[in-house]
Amino acid sequence: MPMTATPKAAYVIGTFDTKAAELQYVSDLIRAAGLPTVRVDVGTRSAETNLEFSARAVAACHPGGAAAVLECSDRGRAVTEMTVALRAFMAGRKDIAGIIGLGGSGGTALITPAMRDQPLGVPKLMVSTLASGNTAPYVDVSDIMMLFPVTDIAGLNHLSSVILGNAAHAMAGMIQRTVPPAQDLKPALGFTMFGVTTPCVQQVSAELSDVFDCQVFHATGTGGRAMEALVSAGMLCGVVDVTTTEAADFLLGGVCSAGSERFDAIVRSGIPWVGSCGALDMVNFWALDTVPQRYRGRLLHSHNANVTLMRTTAEELARIGSWIATKLNASPGPVRWLLPEGGLSSIDAPGQVFHDPQADAALFAAIEAAFVTSDLHRLVRVPHHINDAAFAQLVATHVREVVPVGEGSGKQASGAKC
């Protein structure tokens, strides 16, 4: 007899020692919608065994065995070790249609790492009492949805029943109403963009959209990290890094830093990189009163009520340019770095608040001094502003030269692999 594929299920994860009623309620609603569920207990003090997977079954996936989790006298350490066990457990499952978790601070920290391990596009919904605050440590650069339960997850009541019911139906809907795959798969390119470099990116993507699936990332720190996560996953065949401003924020303490590892995925993968110096004329802070005291005397510009921009100096730009160049020098793949001599952003142009040709010249000089040119690595000075049509056209030309287009494997979430 032919083997039948195991039906995929919604995984309902939580601490059944403290939230059994709520988790069972969510599971029952998903089942009532016509979907199988798999209930997974991650309670470190749980005795519940009438589930698809008990806490002991999950803990047994820990590299040190179940005892490494369940025999911890310290609750915080036990939660940490159960996190390790859950990630290992979920990595071995082949029937995941989606994941829904319920938790407070401990449960959220425990469940979301396993959610982040799942491929982009797999439905992930975390009902968390932390969802109205800073969710970045839990979502990171994944596609986890966070839902605030309003009340604590401490028993079913008129309000919690409605909100948890909404969560259950949302998970069922995401699984049952899958998005049809794109019919015209194109190789996926990653772009970085800021508002002040939008004209350039829009022109380049329009020029290349006949061949490439152009995926734009907002260069706010998480955007650059998300793009590089896709590079590491093999989901992009090239990067058009027009807006490298995250390097300025990292080196000078701005709020849009992508961290010290920015560009490292480019280097590890050797992926074709065509980039520029977009928005290196600025460092980002929140409202004016949040600008560090050491910068209060600098040239500051209110981008809006919540964002303040600081103009970078010649000395700072030289440091930034050298840092990026040193990173890119290590890439084994093709690199084309285009230097827009007419200005780095829409507010670094004649008559605009950040126009400073001398500071920009220091950036270009530092890049030329640090960048190692070769057959694969080229530096191109361009006598245009970054948002000029002529500059955008040149960027598109270089992309077509260095990013090969061929039949792909379809590994990407959107677009085939080159």
CA nearest neighbour of 42 among 87, 9, 74 = 87
101: left (phi over 0), alpha (psi -120 to 50) or beta: beta
Q: Which two three-digit tokens encode residue 148?
A: 């605030």
Sorted by sequence, the CB contacts under 8 Å of residue 187 that are 6+ apart come out as 211, 212, 213, 237, 238, 403, 405, 408, 415, 416, 417, 418
Q: Which of 259, 256, 268 is nearest to 217 (CA)?
A: 256
- Average confidence (pLDDT) over 275-290: 97
Domain ranges of the chain: 9-176, 188-402
Question: Which segments of 155-312 does DSSP mark as H helices, in order?
Answer: 158-176, 198-208, 222-232, 246-252, 264-269
Confidence check: pLDDT of 403 > 60: yes
Whether 9-176 shares its CATH topology with 188-402 is answered: yes
Q: How far apart are CA 38 and CA 23, in angstroms?
A: 11
Residue 417's pLDDT band (cuts 50, 70, 90): very low
For range 391-414, the mean pLDDT: 76
CA–CA distance, 301 with 347 (Å, rounded to integer):
10
pLDDT of residue 406: 66
Q: If you average pLDDT over residues 392-400, what whole number do you get?
A: 98
User: Cα separations (Å) of 299 from 219, 354, 360?
Assistant: 22, 8, 15
- Beta-sheet strand order (sheet of 300-304): 282-285, 307-311, 300-304
Residue 181: its pLDDT value, please?
Answer: 78
- When pLDDT is cut at 50, 70 and 90, the band that residue 5 belongs to is low
Nearest to 277 by CA among 222, 373, 358, 200: 200
Taking the alpha carbons of 277, 282, 285, 286 in that order, is the dihedral positive or negative?
A: negative
Nearest to 109 by CA among 72, 88, 141, 84: 84
249 pLDDT more than 80 = yes
Task: Write out pLDDT tens, residues 59-115.
Answer: 999 999 999 999 999 999 999 999 999 999 999 999 999 999 999 999 999 999 999
At 96, is the secondary structure helix, strand, or coil? strand
Cβ atoms 318, 341 nearer than 8 A: no
The CATH number assigned to the domain with range 9-176 reads 3.40.50.12020
* pLDDT exceeds 60 at position 297: yes
The beta-strand segments (E) located in 120-196 are: 124-128, 145-147, 188-193
pLDDT, position 323: 98
**Beta strands 238-241; 188-193: pairing state:** parallel
Q: Is the pLDDT of residue 408 over 70?
A: no
Q: What is the pLDDT of residues 342-353, one digit of tens each?
A: 999 999 999 999
Is the model's pLDDT at 235 over the cut of 70?
yes
- Report the mean per-residue pLDDT for the chain: 94
- Whether 240 has a pLDDT exceeding 80, the answer reads yes
Euclidean distance between CA atoms 181 and 413, whole angstroms: 9
Kindly list the distances between the CA atom of residue 226 and the CA atoms of 143, 177, 271, 415, in Å, as whole numbers in the listed order.
10, 25, 16, 17
Determine the straight-line distance between the first and last CA of the chain, rounded to whole angstroms. Answer: 39
Residue with tokens 């995925």: 265
* Alpha-carbon distance values, 114 to 16, 94, 260, 279, 320 (Å): 17, 14, 25, 35, 36
Structurally, what CATH architecture does the domain formed by 188-402 represent?
3-Layer(aba) Sandwich (3.40)
Nearest Cα neighbor of 102 from 90, 93, 91, 110 is: 110
